[in-house]
Structure formats: C-alpha cells, structure tokens
Amino acid sequence: MLAMLLTPRPAEACGGTFCDLGPQAMPVDQTGENILFVLGEGYTEAHIQIQYDPNTAAKFAWVVPMLALPEFSIGCDRLFDNTLAATVPTYGFSYQFDDCGGNGSNSGTAGASAGDTSADDGSTGGDPGPEVVLQQTVGAFDITVLQGGTAAEVMQWLADNEYEQDPDAEPILAEYLAENYMFAAFKLTNGADLAEIHPIVLRFENDEACVPLRLTRIAAVDDMEVRTFFLAESRVVPQNYKHVLVNPLRLDWPGLAANYKSIITQAVDAFGADGKAFVTEYAGPSSVVNTFGIFGDLWNAQAFSGLPAVDVIDTLSAQGLVSCYDGGFETTGGSGTECAFDHPLLRGLLNTYLPVPDGLDEIEFYGCLTCFEAEIDLDAWGDGSAFATAMQERIIDPGAHASDLLATFPTLTRMYTTISPAEMTADPFFWANPDLPDVDLTNAIATRRVLCNGDAVWTLPDGREVYVPGDGPWPDFSDEMPYEEEVAETPRMGPPIVMVDNREIIATELRTHNCQYGWPGDGTCGAGSGGSDSSGSDGSSAGADEGGSGCGCTSGGNAGWGALAMVVGVGLARRRRRG
C-alpha cells in the first residue's frame, strides 16, 4: 500500500514537509518513503505522504498495487510533520570533569537528532487491456484503479494516459498481475498547483499492513531509506523481515551520531539480517505527538461562504490558520504586513481561489487585501463557497480524522531501514505484538567524563564504558566488533526469537579496547576477565524486539520477525535532525 514513483527523483534539501522538524534542519535524501499505517479492528489505513520532484510532478506515474479496492480520501500533512518531529532519534552527551585539585568540576551537553466515487469503465469498445474499475478525483489527484490485462497492456494504458513510466516496471507489474493484484494509478488533476499536493489515505477492510517494495526497486537507489509508522493498540514489528538491535558502540558519539545511516545500513546488511530487516526508533505512547496544527476547534469552513474576498485573511487569522505581523518594510499599498500560513495546504488553496494579481508581490497582496481590493479576481473567489468546500475537504476533515486517530490508538511505532534494489525481492509485512517493551531513542544521553590526564571515559546510556584517549575521535574498534547486537524474529505474541546474539563478542572487544589503556584499573584487565555486558533486558541498551491479504502484498513461506532497537543520547544544546 505504499507509494511507488516510477521515475527516479533527485534529492532535495528538506523539500516540502518530508524531513524532521528542528531549528537546524539537515539535508534529507528524498529518494525514500514515508507511510503511516493505522491498524484498526478489521481494517487498515495507509496514510501516504507523497514525495515528488517538482520538475516532473505534473507527469509522474504513481502506482499502488492492491489486492482489494480501498476507499480513498485526503490525508493530513501535519500528522506526518508532528509524528516525525516527536519520534526522531536524538543523540547527544553531557560532559563532566574530574576534580583534579582546584579545577573543580564542570558539565555541559551537546546533541543531535538522526534518522536524523463513481465508477466508470473507461473502456474503448472491445479493446484489450486492463479494466478500469474506478475513476475518482480525491483532492489534487485523479485516481484510476486498473484490474486485469497484461503488464504490457498496463504499461500501454499508462503511456496513453500521459503517465511517465519506466520500462523496467513491466516484469515487476507482471509479478503482481500473476498474483491477482489491481493497481491504483495517481496523477495531479489538470491545473493543480504543486502547493496543493497532500497525503492520500487508502482504507482496506482487512487487518494487514505491508510495503510493496518489489515495485519500489524500479526507482530506488542503493541503501534507500524507508520509514514506517504505525498507530495501533500495541507495538508493531516486522512479520516477515528480521528485526535488528544495533550495537551503540559503533555510533560516533562525539560526532553526534553523524554516521547513523551508515551504521544502520551495516547492521541490517549483517549476517542473519541479510538486507531485509528493520530497527525500531520509537515505540510508545502516541500522545508524544503534538496535536498543534493538526486540527483546531476554531476552524470553520462555512464562515467563508458568502464572505467578501477582502475579509479572507482576517477570518483565517481569527481561526488560527494565518499569523500576520509587521514585516518591517514599506509596500505600494502602504501596509508592510506579512502573513504566514499555518497549514501546509492553505497557500495552495489561496493561490487557486484568491490568486495574486499580476505584477503584485504575494507578501504584499495577502498582507493587505484592502489595499488591492480593486485588483482581486472576483471570478476566482465567487461567493467563497468553492473555497469553503475545498477547505473542508483538504484541511478540516483530514485534520479531524488525524486528531481522532491519535486519541483512539494508544501506541505509536516508528521503524527504519535502508535497502537496495537487489534486496527488494519480498514485500515486508507487519503486525502488532502486545508482549514487547517500549523503545524510546528520543530521550537518552551519554556522559563524557574527562579524567585528570586529559583522557575521557564515555558512559553510554546502557552503562557500558568506552575509553577515548585525549580529544581523539571515537574508536574504530577492530573488524571483529559487530554492527548488530542482536538479530531476531518476533512472533505475533511472546518474546523475540533470537537468531544472532553478539553481546559476548561486543563485551570482549570492548574489554580489549579499554584494557589497552588500563581501564577500568581495578584488576579486571590483569585478571583476564572477559569484561561485562551491561546491556539491559529492559530495552535500555536497545531493548528486546520483535517484530496477510488485501494490503497490496502477499506473504509466503515462513514469517520472519524482528528484535528491537538501540538506545542513544538526547541532545540538549546543539541539534542536528535527519529525516
């Protein structure tokens, strides 16, 4: 049920709303996918945040394979924004200085984040090809559902209807057709502005969630990032992919985990995981998501029906959807007021129904509608009823639904992986396991203790200590130090089934490293002890982890389950956020 773009897309630096929020947003590779599943009783919703290249968005072919015909509706961008911001893994450390005779002690912090309907057969006589079982416009998208035909005929239909496509899609489409899939094809409606693009919701009458990665591999890059979010009654884990607990010793703690993606890639590619695995970045109360901006009690679309156009900005401001302030500049209208839109779709709707007159600056126009009343396009505004309808459908209803979901489902799970096209041979399924602990990588901190000799001992959140000489970089360790602490399968109920357990190896390698510098200096090294493994069983080091039909994928063979995440430190001073 996941969005599949059939054309490659370049990376954009935090384009649109597809990166975690933060005061210092970092570039995010947009050749990835964000999807939020809602696992209800007897139904599944897939909320898909569309990522696009603005240079080709008007002609892209976005195809979703499905085993059942869903209900389509408009999703809420702010739900993704707030969920990303609330669950982004955050790495950091505090520092302490030993009392070395008069120097006293000091402390500080540093941190960073990572990650961080009406049917129309659409046929032309008796021509062969796929059957059009549904055509529908949902917000800014025209949606056509195709069933049957051959892969070549589906490709031809896409070409005839001006969808961009990739010839490499044909054998993959053939795989899905052989499994009796239908396809939903999306493209922007004629005249739709890119600012109007919004998430799409697919609701299926089944209780499964899967990501059809087989089709994704057409446009995927190596080590493509995939994030999945789940709202459910309990924690969600992979069903047929492994779950990996990452070795936190491999993260670059002084560098604020700048190597996060690389370490995740190494861990999920390790023996036993074999490139088909996820890590859990967050699993806990859904109340962590800030509901601000998702829905407002003051929002009222009907207030715009019959409203004079000059009063639109004032009315939006009164409803909390626009914030206006003195911009500190002079304009031809004499106002100098600048207005910020507090909803990602609002600007697109205003550009459609209250367009900026030719020759005027957008900031000037929306900052003082009364200054340019004579130039307002009254034909585009009409009596305001069209704007009111669009606002209800694209902003208010999706926001109310998103707010209800957060209030209804107590548990939010965020999982992450990197995967390359050659590994996209099976579609990952997911299910809920009520017997697994929470995971929270957003609020942990390491400690950097500076010794009197200038060296440092780092204590990670799980209690393990790492000796680092002087101001040197984080240790490379030996090649024997694993990237993965645990690889596991997780059933629908019960604890994870551990396939690979590297805790003893990690403890031995850490002891060998520390003993080079005589740490901890209590006779442990001289005694030849194997050191200690301080990883907890409660998920403090990383937690223990885990881990249909009709969702757009098929499961086959034995199901694989997953083990759980890793714990890292929270940043309290500097922050870097990755998507």
Give the model confidence (pLDDT) of 426-440 as tens digits. 999 999 999 999 999
Tokens standing for residue 514: 């520390």
**Can you list the alpha helix ranges (DSSP code H) found in 274-359?**
312-318, 346-353
Q: Which residues contact 397 (CB under 8 A, 6 or more apart)?
A: 73, 74
Residue 63's pLDDT is: 85
Q: Is residue 399 part of a domain?
A: no
427 and 377 within one domain:
no
Does position 25 have pLDDT exceeding 80, yes or no? no
Buried/exposed 184-200: b ≥16 CB within 10 Å, e otherwise? bbbbbeeebeebbbbbb
Q: Is residue 60 part of a domain?
A: yes
Residue 471's pLDDT is: 87
514 and 465 within one domain:
yes
319 and 284 within one domain:
no
Q: Is residue 179 part of a domain?
A: yes
For every residue of 411-456, DSSP letters joined together read: EEEEEEEEE-GGG-SS--EEEE-TTS--EE-SS--EEEEEPTTS-E
Q: Is residue 570 part of a domain?
A: no
**Can you list the alpha helix ranges (DSSP code H) found in 50-127?**
77-87
Cβ(485)–Cβ(245) below 8 Å: yes
- Count: domains in the chain: 2
Does position 15 have pLDDT exceeding 70, yes or no? no
Cβ(80)–Cβ(182) below 8 Å: no
271 and 132 within one domain:
yes
Q: Which residues contact 337 (CB under 8 A, 6 or more apart)?
A: 324, 325, 326, 327, 367, 368
201 and 348 within one domain:
no
Say which range, 275-279, 349-353, 518-522, has the weakest mean pLDDT.
518-522
Chain centre distance of CA 60: 21
In angstroms, the CA 293 to CA 558 distance is: 43
265 and 183 within one domain:
yes
Strongest mean pLDDT among 11-20, 133-142, 239-248: 239-248
Say which range, 127-136, 400-409, 484-493, 567-576, has the weakest mean pLDDT.
567-576
250 and 158 within one domain:
yes
Does position 491 have pLDDT exceeding 50, yes or no? yes
More confident residue, 22 or 180: 180
Does position 220 have pLDDT exceeding 90, yes or no? no
Quote the domain boundaries for residue 378: 307-382
Domain boundary among 480, 499, 527: 527
156 and 40 within one domain:
yes
What is the per-residue pLDDT across 237-285, written as a single tens digit (0 to 9) for each? 999 999 999 999 999 999 889 999 999 999 999 999 999 999 999 999 9
Cβ(275)–Cβ(295) below 8 Å: no
153 and 38 within one domain:
yes
Residue 91's pLDDT is: 87
Beta bridge partners of 62: 5, 186
Q: Is residue 285 part of a domain?
A: yes
What is the per-residue pLDDT across 419-428, written as a single tens digit (0 to 9) for each? 999 999 999 9
441 and 522 within one domain:
yes
Give the number of other Cβ atoms within 10 Å of residue 323's Cβ: 12
180 and 99 within one domain:
yes
Domain boundary among 335, 363, 382: 382
Q: Is residue 205 part of a domain?
A: yes
Residue 303's pLDDT is: 97
Q: Is residue 183 part of a domain?
A: yes
CA diameter of the chain: 93
Give the percent of the chain with pLDDT over 70. Answer: 76
228 and 94 within one domain:
yes
HSE at residue 269, side-chain half, CA atoms within 13 A, is 14
Q: Is residue 302 part of a domain?
A: no
Domain boundary among 382, 398, 428: 382
More confident residue, 24 or 411: 411
What is the per-residue pLDDT across 144-199, written as a single tens digit (0 to 9) for each? 999 999 999 999 998 888 887 778 888 989 999 999 999 999 888 876 666 677 88
